[in-house]
Amino acid sequence: MNLLYAGKTKDVYEGEGDTVVLKFKDDVTGTDGVFDPGANTVGLTIDGMGQSGLRMTTFFFEKMAEHGVATHFVSSNIEEATMTVKKATMFGNGLEVICRYRAVGSFYRRYGQYCEEGQTLDAFVEVTLKDDERNDPPISKDGLVMLGLLTAEEYDELEQMTKQISGIVKEELAKRQLELYDIKLEFGRDSEGALMLIDEISGGNMRAYGKDGYVEPLQLEKLMLA
Amino acid sequence: MNLLYAGKTKDVYEGEGDTVVLKFKDDVTGTDGVFDPGANTVGLTIDGMGQSGLRMTTFFFEKMAEHGVATHFVSSNIEEATMTVKKATMFGNGLEVICRYRAVGSFYRRYGQYCEEGQTLDAFVEVTLKDDERNDPPISKDGLVMLGLLTAEEYDELEQMTKQISGIVKEELAKRQLELYDIKLEFGRDSEGALMLIDEISGGNMRAYGKDGYVEPLQLEKLMLA
């Protein structure tokens, strides 16, 4: 297959027709060898991580289809750790859309003056620009519109979809006595320009807590798909 | 007078009745001895800076009154570099509301991926929390509402007032062939809970450019009040 782009945790290959193929790697983001879904660098490599992330992503993308949420998902090949997806156009060089149910991570680091660590948040949505060099800066709706990355109507739709998707994930976790603290999603436009969820939904882009605290991505997949 | 609070560029004293007295100091914010209105530390001391800032603030607060904009201004004593103002309650420990007409400073540092340095912006409003320890983090409307700092309606009013006030300042500068690039405002609630502009409007909290480039605060006051 023809490599189009080598990412931090996934490589992108040319697919047939209007598709591309994502190869899930065993690399995960983190800092100094410690996993951190919000980090910008590859922190460590975990055997089986790629397949595990793909199993979770397949599970959740199929759930999204059941709920009528548009995603780029076409099919998965777990053995090869590849996922065939519809081609998407990005908003600029990519946005990350975060939905928060607890004040942890960068939210707490920024707003600790006005919140307790871990306090509940009501599906708080925020957007950051994918920009390693500038440390993924947060940006407001007005900022996104002013820079021409999306329209005000698209932002509202993005926010509504983010809350719906995150709510579905939260509910699935709750069925296994797990709590979703926050989750990071990516969106693109399909060939007709309609919004769809892209990238992945796995332990690598969410924080899940159980009765013994934070649940690592591999463990999360075992608990979710048991 | 009884000192209530010693700030970076102003001290606050108890006033008569429902007022406080602000003493404008000769200290200005900056980094390594270079003036920077966006900086969080006192960078240098400039003789006459306090009186100059007060003359500008008095000029602009009187302009605001002409336009029906609510401010905390009561009266000034230029010789003593003091301004008597109405008592205000803050939003939390204070917000800074920035209005931008050009992509410079922290806007360009954050969003340089999608803008040219100095490109025009359409009165872009953003809010940061006053929090030296956390480097004055930017915060969205949703974030302000979720943390209980203000209501969605108050935010909209704050944004509208910011655009009106900044537009008045921009127009006054334009009369002297100067261009306003950005300006930082502060707001509080009066004793009835109504929004009003507080703090100051001077060269110390805006970036003004003339035909020879950036205009320093003292020079700006000379050009404006000549």
Give the Cα separation of A158 and A149 in Å (integer): 12
User: Does the distance separating the beta carbons of B109 and A139 come in below 8 Å?
Assistant: no
Other Cβ atoms closer than 10 A to B137:
18
For a pLDDT cut of 90, what percent of chain B falls above it? 88
DSSP letter assigned to residue A152? H
Sign of CA dihedral A213, A219, A220, A222: negative
Structure tokens at B164: 């009106």
pLDDT digits (tens, 9 = 90+) for A40-81: 788 788 889 999 999 999 999 999 999 999 999 999 999 999
DSSP letter assigned to residue A58? H
ipTM of this complex:
0.88
- Among A205, A210, A212, which Cα is nearest to A60's? A205
Structure tokens at A143: 């900022």
Q: What is the pLDDT of residue A168?
A: 98
Q: What is the pLDDT of residue B117?
A: 97
Distance from CA of B35 to the nearest CA of A (A): 24
pLDDT digits (tens, 9 = 90+) for B178-211: 999 999 999 999 999 999 999 999 998 999 999 9
Interface of B with A in 84-143 (CB under 8 A): 92-93, 109-115, 121-122, 124-126, 129, 131, 133-134, 137-143
Residues in contact with A195: Cβ distance below 8 Å, sequence separation at least 6, in sequence order: A70, A154, A157, A158, A161, A187, A188, A189
User: Does the distance separating the beta carbons of B121 and A146 come in below 8 Å?
Assistant: yes
- Among A93, A104, A116, which Cα is nearest to A37's? A104
Q: What is the pLDDT of residue B218?
A: 92
pLDDT average, residue stretch B93-99 = 96
Q: What is the pLDDT of residue A20?
A: 96
- Among B71, B68, B126, B50, which Cα is nearest to B95's? B126
Nearest chain A residue (CA) to B147: A114
* pLDDT-based confidence at residue B28 (cuts at 50, 70, 90): confident
Give the Cα separation of A70 and A194 in Å (integer): 9
Where does residue A86 fall: left (phi above 0), alpha (psi -120 to 50 degrees), or beta otherwise? Answer: beta
